[in-house]
Amino acid sequence: MTRRDEWARRVAEWRASGQTSTAFSEGKPFTASGLRHWAHRLSKEPRPPRRLRVVRVERRRRVNEPTAPSADASLVVELGLARVVVRPGFDRALLAAVLEVALAAAGGRAA
């Protein structure tokens, strides 16, 4: 493991802990100021672009439900862990705004 990787792991653990840098560093082989330094340094590194994925989803029918045309079809827009379900009759302006924000967060790339 490289030095950078070790610090990235430490910083991730610190962020996930919810503790202050001082509390997290207590009793560990690094200082709170070193932890904050690496957190800042790592935050300046370019992040890999996130991918935007849009899939078409059919609503599941119940066993005795009659077959209907695809009027119940939805779109699911996924960006990492975020998921937006778009159903028939959606607000186009709102969807455009959501996609604009999602694509900006993903570095302007769609998969």
Sequential DSSP letters for 35-86: HHHHHHHHHTSPPPPP-EEEEEEPPPPPTTSPP--GGG-EEEEEETTEEEEE
The verdict on 56 and 29 lying in the same domain is: no
The two structure tokens encoding residue 87: 């159903």
* 87 belongs to a structural domain: yes
Residues 89 and 56 in one domain: yes
pLDDT digits (tens, 9 = 90+) for 48-69: 666 666 666 665 656 565 554 4
pLDDT score for 69: 45
Here the tokens at position 47 are 């992040």
**Number of structural domains the chain divides into:** 2
Distance, CA of 41 to CA of 35 (rounded, Å): 10
Of the candidate ranges 14-23, 47-56, 77-86, 90-99, the one whose mean pLDDT is the lowest: 47-56
State whether 7 and 38 are in the same domain. yes
Same domain, 25 and 56: no
Domain limits for position 83: 52-60+69-105
pTM above 0.75, yes or no: no
Burial degree of 43 (CB within 10 A; 0-12, 13-18, 19+): exposed
Q: Is residue 8 part of a domain?
A: yes
The answer to the question of residue 56 being in a domain is yes
1 band by pLDDT with thresholds 50, 70 and 90: confident
Q: What is the mean pLDDT of residues 82-110?
A: 76
Whether residue 93 is contained in a domain is answered as yes
